[in-house]
Protein backbone atom coordinates (compact mmCIF):
# COMPACT_ATOMS: atom_id res chain seq x y z
CA UNK A 1 0.00 0.00 0.00
CA UNK A 2 1.24 3.46 -0.86
CA UNK A 3 2.17 5.63 2.13
CA UNK A 4 1.51 9.35 1.97
CA UNK A 5 3.47 10.82 4.86
CA UNK A 6 2.08 14.17 6.03
CA UNK A 7 3.25 14.12 9.67
CA UNK A 8 6.59 15.86 9.29
CA UNK A 9 6.05 18.15 12.30
CA UNK A 10 6.12 14.96 14.41
CA UNK A 11 9.27 13.62 12.78
CA UNK A 12 10.89 13.47 9.36
CA UNK A 13 12.49 10.82 7.22
CA UNK A 14 16.24 10.73 7.71
CA UNK A 15 17.64 11.88 4.38
CA UNK A 16 19.62 9.17 2.51
CA UNK A 17 22.53 11.61 2.18
CA UNK A 18 22.51 12.01 5.97
CA UNK A 19 22.61 8.26 6.56
CA UNK A 20 25.48 7.92 4.10
CA UNK A 21 27.43 10.68 5.85
CA UNK A 22 26.91 9.06 9.28
CA UNK A 23 27.85 5.46 8.49
CA UNK A 24 31.67 5.75 8.53
CA UNK A 25 31.51 7.12 12.08
CA UNK A 26 30.11 3.80 13.37
CA UNK A 27 32.72 1.49 11.90
CA UNK A 28 35.74 3.40 10.56
CA UNK A 29 35.96 6.80 12.25
CA UNK A 30 34.92 5.73 15.73
CA UNK A 31 37.52 7.64 17.72
CA UNK A 32 36.57 9.82 20.66
CA UNK A 33 36.36 13.39 19.37
CA UNK A 34 37.96 14.67 22.58
CA UNK A 35 40.99 12.33 22.44
CA UNK A 36 44.51 13.70 22.04
CA UNK A 37 45.62 11.14 19.43
CA UNK A 38 45.39 11.71 15.71
CA UNK A 39 42.69 9.06 15.21
CA UNK A 40 40.31 10.85 17.57
CA UNK A 41 41.51 14.29 16.59
CA UNK A 42 40.42 13.73 12.99
CA UNK A 43 36.92 12.94 14.27
CA UNK A 44 37.02 16.08 16.39
CA UNK A 45 37.82 18.06 13.27
CA UNK A 46 34.74 16.61 11.55
CA UNK A 47 32.58 17.53 14.56
CA UNK A 48 33.73 21.13 14.20
CA UNK A 49 32.85 21.04 10.49
CA UNK A 50 29.33 19.88 11.44
CA UNK A 51 29.14 22.72 13.98
CA UNK A 52 29.95 25.20 11.20
CA UNK A 53 27.18 23.71 9.05
CA UNK A 54 24.62 24.17 11.85
CA UNK A 55 25.85 27.72 12.45
CA UNK A 56 25.51 28.47 8.73
CA UNK A 57 21.87 27.30 8.61
CA UNK A 58 21.06 29.52 11.60
CA UNK A 59 23.04 32.49 10.33
CA UNK A 60 25.15 32.51 13.50
CA UNK A 61 28.22 34.74 13.51
CA UNK A 62 30.43 32.14 15.19
CA UNK A 63 30.41 28.33 15.09
CA UNK A 64 31.32 28.17 18.79
CA UNK A 65 27.88 29.61 19.57
CA UNK A 66 26.46 26.15 18.76
CA UNK A 67 26.22 23.51 21.53
CA UNK A 68 25.22 19.99 20.50
CA UNK A 69 22.52 18.37 22.67
CA UNK A 70 20.44 15.19 22.52
CA UNK A 71 17.18 16.80 21.34
CA UNK A 72 15.07 19.94 21.24
CA UNK A 73 13.68 19.30 24.72
CA UNK A 74 17.18 19.22 26.20
CA UNK A 75 18.00 22.44 24.37
CA UNK A 76 14.87 24.12 25.78
CA UNK A 77 15.54 22.86 29.31
CA UNK A 78 19.16 24.01 29.11
CA UNK A 79 18.13 27.50 28.00
CA UNK A 80 15.51 27.97 30.72
CA UNK A 81 17.58 26.59 33.59
CA UNK A 82 20.68 28.47 32.45
CA UNK A 83 18.79 31.77 32.42
CA UNK A 84 17.37 31.45 35.94
CA UNK A 85 20.65 30.13 37.37
CA UNK A 86 22.65 32.90 35.69
CA UNK A 87 20.43 35.59 37.22
CA UNK A 88 19.45 34.26 40.67
CA UNK A 89 18.08 37.65 41.69
CA UNK A 90 15.49 37.55 38.92
CA UNK A 91 12.72 35.05 39.60
CA UNK A 92 10.26 35.74 36.81
CA UNK A 93 9.79 34.18 33.34
CA UNK A 94 7.50 35.18 30.49
CA UNK A 95 6.34 32.62 27.94
CA UNK A 96 3.16 31.80 26.00
CA UNK A 97 0.25 29.45 26.61
CA UNK A 98 0.94 27.61 23.35
CA UNK A 99 4.57 26.55 23.83
CA UNK A 100 5.76 22.97 23.41
CA UNK A 101 5.60 20.92 26.65
CA UNK A 102 9.41 21.09 26.82
CA UNK A 103 9.00 24.77 27.72
CA UNK A 104 5.57 24.75 29.37
CA UNK A 105 6.28 21.90 31.78
CA UNK A 106 9.70 23.29 32.65
CA UNK A 107 8.05 26.59 33.50
CA UNK A 108 5.48 24.77 35.66
CA UNK A 109 8.34 23.03 37.49
CA UNK A 110 10.05 26.37 38.09
CA UNK A 111 6.75 27.72 39.43
CA UNK A 112 6.74 24.87 41.94
CA UNK A 113 10.18 26.10 43.02
CA UNK A 114 8.91 29.61 43.71
CA UNK A 115 9.46 31.34 40.38
CA UNK A 116 6.77 33.55 38.88
CA UNK A 117 5.69 32.75 35.33
CA UNK A 118 3.49 34.84 33.05
CA UNK A 119 1.79 32.85 30.28
CA UNK A 120 0.82 35.14 27.41
CA UNK A 121 -2.54 34.41 25.75
CA UNK A 122 -3.12 34.12 22.00
CA UNK A 123 -6.01 35.38 19.91
CA UNK A 124 -8.37 33.34 17.75
CA UNK A 125 -5.72 33.10 15.04
CA UNK A 126 -3.13 31.79 17.47
CA UNK A 127 -1.12 35.03 17.60
CA UNK A 128 0.38 36.69 20.67
CA UNK A 129 0.04 40.40 21.43
CA UNK A 130 3.26 42.41 21.70
CA UNK A 131 1.36 44.84 23.94
CA UNK A 132 0.70 41.96 26.34
CA UNK A 133 4.41 41.14 26.25
CA UNK A 134 5.36 44.77 26.91
CA UNK A 135 3.14 44.73 29.97
CA UNK A 136 4.44 41.40 31.26
CA UNK A 137 8.22 41.94 31.19
CA UNK A 138 9.65 43.65 34.27
CA UNK A 139 13.06 44.35 35.75
CA UNK A 140 12.68 41.06 37.63
CA UNK A 141 12.25 38.98 34.46
CA UNK A 142 15.19 36.64 33.85
CA UNK A 143 13.96 35.21 30.54
CA UNK A 144 11.36 35.62 27.84
CA UNK A 145 10.81 32.39 25.88
CA UNK A 146 8.57 32.58 22.79
CA UNK A 147 8.56 29.86 20.14
CA UNK A 148 9.47 30.88 16.60
CA UNK A 149 6.58 28.90 15.09
CA UNK A 150 3.90 26.79 16.72
CA UNK A 151 4.24 23.05 16.21
CA UNK A 152 0.48 22.46 15.88
CA UNK A 153 -0.81 25.40 13.85
CA UNK A 154 2.41 26.57 12.19
CA UNK A 155 1.67 30.15 13.29
CA UNK A 156 4.89 32.18 13.09
CA UNK A 157 5.47 34.54 16.01
CA UNK A 158 7.18 37.98 15.83
CA UNK A 159 10.23 36.82 17.77
CA UNK A 160 12.50 39.66 16.68
CA UNK A 161 10.07 42.22 18.12
CA UNK A 162 9.63 40.05 21.20
CA UNK A 163 13.41 39.86 21.61
CA UNK A 164 13.68 43.62 21.32
CA UNK A 165 11.15 44.08 24.11
CA UNK A 166 12.90 41.51 26.34
CA UNK A 167 16.34 43.04 25.81
CA UNK A 168 15.04 46.57 26.45
CA UNK A 169 14.01 45.40 29.96
CA UNK A 170 17.27 43.57 30.65
CA UNK A 171 15.88 40.04 30.18
CA UNK A 172 17.37 37.23 28.10
CA UNK A 173 15.40 36.01 25.08
CA UNK A 174 15.10 32.36 24.04
CA UNK A 175 13.14 30.88 21.16
CA UNK A 176 12.19 27.28 20.40
CA UNK A 177 12.88 27.10 16.66
CA UNK A 178 12.46 23.33 16.41
CA UNK A 179 9.71 23.64 13.78
CA UNK A 180 11.27 26.59 11.95
CA UNK A 181 14.88 25.59 11.29
CA UNK A 182 15.24 24.45 7.70
CA UNK A 183 11.79 25.79 6.74
CA UNK A 184 12.27 29.54 7.02
CA UNK A 185 15.50 31.59 6.83
CA UNK A 186 17.09 32.43 10.19
CA UNK A 187 19.75 35.14 10.55
CA UNK A 188 21.04 35.13 14.11
CA UNK A 189 24.01 37.40 13.49
CA UNK A 190 21.55 40.22 12.79
CA UNK A 191 19.18 39.28 15.59
CA UNK A 192 18.61 40.10 19.27
CA UNK A 193 17.91 36.44 20.12
CA UNK A 194 20.20 35.15 22.91
CA UNK A 195 19.38 31.44 22.76
CA UNK A 196 17.66 29.24 20.15
CA UNK A 197 16.76 25.52 20.18
CA UNK A 198 16.62 23.10 17.25
CA UNK A 199 16.07 19.35 16.89
CA UNK A 200 17.64 17.13 14.25
CA UNK A 201 14.74 14.83 13.51
CA UNK A 202 12.53 17.73 12.43
CA UNK A 203 14.82 18.52 9.50
CA UNK A 204 15.77 15.09 8.15
CA UNK A 205 18.55 14.22 10.62
CA UNK A 206 18.02 11.25 12.97
CA UNK A 207 16.27 11.33 16.32
CA UNK A 208 18.57 11.82 19.30
CA UNK A 209 20.45 14.94 18.27
CA UNK A 210 19.73 18.64 18.74
CA UNK A 211 21.53 21.92 19.22
CA UNK A 212 21.32 25.05 21.31
CA UNK A 213 22.57 28.38 20.01
CA UNK A 214 23.99 30.63 22.73
CA UNK A 215 25.10 34.09 21.63
CA UNK A 216 28.66 34.99 22.60
CA UNK A 217 28.68 36.99 25.82
CA UNK A 218 25.45 35.45 27.13
CA UNK A 219 25.74 34.23 30.73
CA UNK A 220 25.49 30.44 30.68
CA UNK A 221 25.28 27.64 33.26
CA UNK A 222 25.51 24.03 31.94
CA UNK A 223 22.52 21.72 32.32
CA UNK A 224 24.59 18.49 32.18
CA UNK A 225 27.63 18.61 34.44
CA UNK A 226 30.65 16.35 34.03
CA UNK A 227 33.46 16.39 31.49
CA UNK A 228 34.79 19.26 29.44
CA UNK A 229 33.01 18.43 26.19
CA UNK A 230 31.39 21.21 24.16
CA UNK A 231 33.82 23.73 25.69
CA UNK A 232 32.59 22.70 29.18
CA UNK A 233 29.01 23.72 28.32
CA UNK A 234 27.50 20.21 27.90
CA UNK A 235 29.10 17.18 29.46
CA UNK A 236 29.04 13.73 27.88
CA UNK A 237 31.01 12.06 25.10
CA UNK A 238 30.08 13.58 21.78
CA UNK A 239 27.49 11.58 19.80
CA UNK A 240 29.64 11.85 16.72
CA UNK A 241 27.59 9.95 14.08
CA UNK A 242 24.48 11.95 14.95
CA UNK A 243 26.38 15.24 15.08
CA UNK A 244 27.73 14.48 11.61
CA UNK A 245 24.16 13.66 10.53
CA UNK A 246 22.82 16.94 11.88
CA UNK A 247 25.58 18.83 10.09
CA UNK A 248 24.70 17.14 6.80
CA UNK A 249 20.97 17.74 7.32
CA UNK A 250 21.63 21.46 7.88
CA UNK A 251 23.69 21.55 4.68
CA UNK A 252 20.79 19.93 2.78
CA UNK A 253 18.25 22.27 4.40
CA UNK A 254 20.15 25.29 3.11
CA UNK A 255 20.16 23.79 -0.36
CA UNK A 256 16.42 23.01 -0.19
CA UNK A 257 15.37 26.44 1.10
CA UNK A 258 14.57 27.40 -2.50
CA UNK A 259 11.76 24.80 -2.45
CA UNK A 260 9.79 26.67 0.20
CA UNK A 261 7.48 28.15 -2.43
CA UNK A 262 6.72 24.74 -3.95
CA UNK A 263 5.88 23.25 -0.56
CA UNK A 264 3.69 26.24 0.35
CA UNK A 265 1.80 25.79 -2.93
CA UNK A 266 1.17 22.12 -2.10
CA UNK A 267 -0.07 23.08 1.39
CA UNK A 268 -2.36 25.73 -0.09
CA UNK A 269 -3.72 23.29 -2.68
CA UNK A 270 -4.50 20.83 0.09
CA UNK A 271 -6.21 23.52 2.17
CA UNK A 272 -8.28 24.95 -0.67
CA UNK A 273 -9.25 21.50 -1.90
CA UNK A 274 -10.51 20.40 1.51
CA UNK A 275 -12.41 23.59 2.29
CA UNK A 276 -14.06 23.48 -1.16
CA UNK A 277 -15.15 19.86 -0.82
CA UNK A 278 -16.11 19.60 2.87
CA UNK A 279 -18.59 21.87 4.73
CA UNK A 280 -18.24 22.92 8.39
CA UNK A 281 -14.45 23.09 8.48
CA UNK A 282 -12.14 25.61 10.12
CA UNK A 283 -8.48 26.35 9.29
CA UNK A 284 -6.77 26.96 12.63
CA UNK A 285 -4.30 29.84 12.48
CA UNK A 286 -5.34 30.63 8.93
CA UNK A 287 -5.48 34.35 9.64
CA UNK A 288 -1.84 34.54 10.82
CA UNK A 289 1.52 34.07 9.08
CA UNK A 290 2.20 30.31 9.03
CA UNK A 291 4.96 27.89 8.21
CA UNK A 292 4.71 26.87 4.54
CA UNK A 293 4.62 23.23 5.62
CA UNK A 294 1.71 23.17 8.07
CA UNK A 295 -2.09 22.94 7.78
CA UNK A 296 -4.20 22.50 10.94
CA UNK A 297 -7.85 22.01 10.04
CA UNK A 298 -10.92 21.11 12.13
CA UNK A 299 -13.93 19.10 10.99
CA UNK A 300 -17.01 19.91 13.06
CA UNK A 301 -18.98 17.25 14.95
CA UNK A 302 -16.54 14.31 14.51
CA UNK A 303 -13.47 13.04 16.36
CA UNK A 304 -9.98 13.64 15.01
CA UNK A 305 -8.81 10.21 16.17
CA UNK A 306 -11.50 8.52 14.05
CA UNK A 307 -10.41 10.53 11.01
CA UNK A 308 -6.78 9.56 11.60
CA UNK A 309 -7.60 5.85 11.89
CA UNK A 310 -9.55 5.90 8.62
CA UNK A 311 -6.75 7.81 6.88
CA UNK A 312 -4.20 5.39 8.30
CA UNK A 313 -6.11 2.48 6.76
CA UNK A 314 -5.72 4.29 3.43
CA UNK A 315 -1.97 4.76 3.92
CA UNK A 316 -2.16 8.44 4.89
CA UNK A 317 -0.13 9.46 7.96
CA UNK A 318 -1.20 12.69 9.66
CA UNK A 319 -1.67 13.82 13.27
CA UNK A 320 -4.33 15.21 15.57
CA UNK A 321 -1.84 17.75 16.93
CA UNK A 322 1.38 17.54 18.85
CA UNK A 323 2.88 14.04 18.73
CA UNK A 324 4.28 14.74 22.19
CA UNK A 325 0.76 14.94 23.70
CA UNK A 326 -0.97 12.25 21.64
CA UNK A 327 -2.95 9.76 23.66
CA UNK A 328 -4.72 12.47 25.64
CA UNK A 329 -8.50 12.69 25.25
CA UNK A 330 -8.36 16.41 25.96
CA UNK A 331 -8.35 18.83 23.02
CA UNK A 332 -5.00 20.40 22.24
CA UNK A 333 -3.87 23.08 24.71
CA UNK A 334 -3.03 25.22 21.68
CA UNK A 335 -6.55 25.07 20.23
CA UNK A 336 -8.07 25.64 23.66
CA UNK A 337 -5.88 28.73 24.09
CA UNK A 338 -7.14 29.97 20.71
CA UNK A 339 -10.75 29.54 21.83
CA UNK A 340 -11.57 27.04 19.08
CA UNK A 341 -15.17 25.86 19.74
CA UNK A 342 -15.50 22.45 21.37
CA UNK A 343 -17.34 20.98 18.38
CA UNK A 344 -14.40 21.86 16.13
CA UNK A 345 -11.47 21.31 18.52
CA UNK A 346 -12.09 17.57 18.87
CA UNK A 347 -12.05 17.07 15.10
CA UNK A 348 -8.69 18.68 14.36
CA UNK A 349 -6.11 17.23 12.01
CA UNK A 350 -2.58 18.48 11.36
CA UNK A 351 -1.09 17.86 7.94
CA UNK A 352 2.62 18.71 7.80
CA UNK A 353 4.63 18.51 4.59
CA UNK A 354 8.30 18.16 3.74
CA UNK A 355 10.53 18.53 0.73
CA UNK A 356 9.77 14.90 -0.16
CA UNK A 357 6.03 15.47 -0.72
CA UNK A 358 4.64 15.75 -4.25
CA UNK A 359 1.49 16.85 -6.01
CA UNK A 360 0.32 13.25 -6.29
CA UNK A 361 0.37 13.00 -2.46
CA UNK A 362 -2.00 15.96 -2.25
CA UNK A 363 -4.26 14.59 -4.99
CA UNK A 364 -4.52 11.29 -3.11
CA UNK A 365 -5.58 13.00 0.13
CA UNK A 366 -8.09 15.22 -1.66
CA UNK A 367 -9.64 12.13 -3.26
CA UNK A 368 -9.80 10.01 -0.11
CA UNK A 369 -10.50 12.46 2.73
CA UNK A 370 -13.99 13.84 1.84
CA UNK A 371 -15.64 10.39 1.77
CA UNK A 372 -14.10 9.65 5.18
CA UNK A 373 -15.60 12.83 6.63
CA UNK A 374 -19.02 12.05 5.08
CA UNK A 375 -18.94 8.51 6.51
CA UNK A 376 -18.05 9.68 10.02
CA UNK A 377 -20.62 12.47 10.03
CA UNK A 378 -23.29 10.00 8.95
CA UNK A 379 -22.61 8.18 12.23
CA UNK A 380 -22.39 11.35 14.36
CA UNK A 381 -25.46 12.26 16.49
CA UNK A 382 -24.04 15.79 16.86
CA UNK A 383 -23.97 16.21 13.07
CA UNK A 384 -27.56 15.00 12.69
CA UNK A 385 -28.72 17.25 15.52
CA UNK A 386 -27.06 20.24 13.86
CA UNK A 387 -28.58 19.36 10.50
CA UNK A 388 -32.02 19.07 12.10
CA UNK A 389 -31.70 22.49 13.71
CA UNK A 390 -30.62 23.98 10.39
CA UNK A 391 -33.65 22.47 8.63
CA UNK A 392 -36.07 23.74 11.29
CA UNK A 393 -34.54 27.22 11.15
CA UNK A 394 -34.88 27.21 7.37
CA UNK A 395 -38.53 26.14 7.53
CA UNK A 396 -39.38 28.83 10.10
CA UNK A 397 -37.85 31.53 7.91
CA UNK A 398 -40.13 30.70 4.97
Cβ-contact 155, 149 below 8 angstroms: yes
Q: Which residues of 320-357 are buried (b: 16+ CB within 10 A; e: fewer)?
A: bbbeeeeeeeebbbbbebbebeebbbbbbbbbbbbbeb
391 is catalytic: no
Cβ-contact 148, 157 below 8 angstroms: yes
Q: Is the dihedral of CA 35, 39, 41, 46 positive or negative?
A: negative
Q: Which residues of 238-272 are buried (b: 16+ CB within 10 A; e: fewer)?
A: bbbbbbbbbbbbbbbbeebeeebebbbebbeebbe
Spatial CA neighbour of 207 closest among 241, 182, 237: 241
The length of the chain in residues reads 398
Distance CA(151)–CA(100), nearest Å, equals 7
> Other C-beta atoms within 10 Å of 118: how many?
18
Query: Out of 107, 250, 324, 391, which one is annotated catalytic?
Result: 324
| E strand map for the chain | 4-5, 66-69, 92-96, 116-120, 141-145, 172-176, 195-199, 210-214, 281-283, 294-299, 316-317, 348-352
**Residues 108, 112, 117, 122: what is their CA dihedral angle, to the nearest 10 degrees?**
30
Distance CA(203)–CA(355), nearest Å, equals 10
- For 262-279, the DSSP string reads HHHHHHHHHHHHHHHHSS
- For 146-206, the DSSP string reads --SB-TTT-BBP-HHHHHHHHHHTT-EEEEE-TTTBTTB---GGGS--SEEEEEGGGTTSP
DSSP 8-class letter at 398:
-
Catalytic residues: 324
Amino acid sequence: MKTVYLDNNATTKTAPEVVEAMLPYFTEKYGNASSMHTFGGAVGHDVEAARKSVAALLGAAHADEIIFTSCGSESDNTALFSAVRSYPGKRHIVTTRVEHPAVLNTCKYLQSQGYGVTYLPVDGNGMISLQDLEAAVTAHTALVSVMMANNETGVVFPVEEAARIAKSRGALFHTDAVQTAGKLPIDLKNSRIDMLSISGHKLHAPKGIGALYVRRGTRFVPFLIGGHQEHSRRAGTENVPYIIGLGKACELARAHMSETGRIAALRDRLEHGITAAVPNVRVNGGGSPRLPTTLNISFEFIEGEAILLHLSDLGIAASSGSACTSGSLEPSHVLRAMGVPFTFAHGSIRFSLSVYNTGSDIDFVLAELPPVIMKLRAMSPFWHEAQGKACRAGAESL
